[in-house]
Amino acid sequence: MAAALANDSPRYRNSLICCSPRSVDVTSRSSSSTSGCVSADESCDSNYIPKSIANKKLKIHSSATKEELEKAINQCKELVLNSPQCSDERKWLVRYLVELRLRLEDLKDNDGQLRPRVAIKGHHFEQQINTSNRKQYCDHCSGVIWSIVQSSYVCTDCGYVCHYKCVDDICRVCAHVVMTERGQFEMSICPEKGLASQDYKCAECGTVLTFKDTWNEPRLCDYTGMYFCATCHWNDLSAIPARVVHNWDWDKRYISRLAYQMLNLSWSRPYIDVENINSRLFNFIAELEWVHKMRKDLEWMRRYLCACAEGSTLLSPLFVQLGDVNKKYSMAHLQAINDGSLETQLTELTEICRAHITNCALCSGKGYLCEVCGNNEILYPFDSGAILCNKCNSMFHRSCWLRKGQACLKCLRLDNRKKDTVQSPDDVDTHLEYDIDKFVE
């Protein structure tokens, strides 16, 4: 039984008690399950029915009533007595009978009615009715959810899945609530404080941790730097935002279930300000520097397109995300930069927007002319060969700007005009006296 649990439940995944596949296969075939425990044999899945009883129509809907469950239990009892001993048919029927009784107890605890919605610890649970064929595990007890006979809930915000009987005992706060309150990722690389700082207990459920017991060994979360028990840490793998920003390290590391849900939920949210956290990263990653420059061009293009009725149709979701003025990146953007897929999308997007601005009568009329050479070439702030003055927003050719000693001619004219219009202090008569009474009636 220990071998079966070790290979099926995520509680014992990649732990020290995992057995070889051959020994697990032999054990699962020779043992019969007379309880609600999980078998490692994939043929004992809840969606599998032996051929000899496939036409009995034993499976019931997940929203079955109390009367339907009692009828299914009586029918299953008769089939157990009539089935051969130690056969696959009896094994399946006994397991199914236990699960039906568990389902009936769940209904009795709530006076025969299932709660369709439950709100607890920031979660907004809804009852799962049409579950997929993929095997699910409870995030609270790490046991298998038998969707045919066991009711289960799923959080609509973070995807937390649990049994109906476990919903009132969960201790994990919704990952959506945690990330909404923080509004950013953890930017310290594995801020580990040690197991003693946690009083040798799990950071989530408070279970006592010890290295002497291999069944409940402490597991380190590389994202939070905290230690968790095997029930709260399933050895999920993910890239760490802090390692990506500081070292451009995309190797996946083990994280807890809470961190896994937080990263999945916030993977596409722009939380990372690379320019403030690690500006030197642009000097080492050429693709990141190019995308950063394109974002500045998109910011200028957005000002042209938002004022044009035809140009506003070009504001795609990618343009809105990268053309924002906050200059923050999401983990999805950084991953696309590392894969090289974002470069192609940005190139196509900028070319389309540039073609519209240069050909549109309204947008092209808002261009600039060079203050030095004065030719008829229209300049735009997103042109690579143009320089924009930060004070007066005048445009110059890069060559003209260098030829004039990087001095803005318009700024010089404005300074001279101010000097001419400002009256000198000597011309002001400071001895004039005014009788205010004559202005009062």
- Residue-wise pLDDT for 115-140, tens only, equals 777 888 888 888 887 666 678 899 99
Q: Are 337 and 343 in contact (CB under 8 A)?
A: yes
Please give the Cα distance from 335 to 63 (Å, whole number): 42
Beta-bridge mates of residue 162: 153
DSSP 6-34: HHHSGGGTTSTT---HHHHHHHHHH----
How many residues make up the chain in this entry?
A: 441
Is the pLDDT reported for residue 57 higher than 50?
yes
- Token duo for residue 187: 């930017």
Lowest mean pLDDT among 47-51, 76-80, 408-412: 47-51
Sequence-ordered list of residues with C-beta below 8 angstroms from that of 344, at least 6 positions apart, any chain: none
C-alpha 2: how far from its chain's center? 35
In this prediction, residues 294-302 reach a mean pLDDT of 86
Place of tokens 């004559």: 438
Q: What is the dihedral of CA 56, 61, 66, 70, to 10 degrees?
A: 20
DSSP 256-293: -HHHHHHHHHHTTS--B-HHHH-TTHHHH-HHHHHHHH
C-alpha 161: how far from its chain's center? 17
Look at residues 241, 365, 269, 270 and name the one whose alpha carbon lies nearest to residue 311: 365
pLDDT for residue 85: 83
Other CB atoms within 10 Å distance of the CB of residue 253: 16
Q: Are 395 and 381 in contact (CB under 8 A)?
A: yes
Report which of residues 263 and 411 the model is more confident about.
263
In this prediction, residues 371-388 reach a mean pLDDT of 79
Sequence-ordered list of residues with C-beta below 8 angstroms from that of 13, at least 6 positions apart, any chain: 234, 235
Place of tokens 């049994």: 163
| E strands in 75-129 | 117-120, 123-127
Q: Please tell me the pTM assigned to this model.
A: 0.66
For residue 382, what is the DSSP state?
Answer: T
- Residue-wise pLDDT for 136-162, tens only, equals 899 998 888 887 777 889 999 999 999
Helix (H) or strand (E) holding 75: helix 66-82
